[in-house]
Amino acid sequence: MLYWTLIFLVIALVAGLFGFGGIASASAGIAKILFAIFLVLFLLSLIFGVARGA
């Protein structure tokens, strides 16, 4: 999932560089959402891993 976040971030940067503001903002928004989902899943994985090990 972090891979897709980085892909959308690169798309946003390239689109912003070439002046496509709408595409850049949409890609940046998708990247933010995917990163938030990644963080939630990562934290849940950490919590369940610690709880299982204890």
What's the pLDDT tens digit per position in 1-54?
789 889 989 999 999 999 998 989 999 999 999 999 999 999 999 999 999 986
Here the tokens at position 21 are 């503001």
**What pLDDT sits at residue 39?**
95
28: exposed, middle or buried (Cβ count in 10 Å: 0-12, 13-18, 19+): middle
pLDDT of residue 2: 83
Distance CA 6, CA 27 (A): 10
For the chain, the structural domain boundaries read 2-49
What pLDDT is recorded for position 54?
65
Q: Would you state the pLDDT for residue 13?
A: 92
User: What local confidence, expressed as pLDDT, does residue 34 receive?
Assistant: 93
DSSP state letter for 19: T
Residue 43: exposed, middle, or buried by beta-carbon count in 10 A (0-12, 13-18, 19+)? Answer: exposed
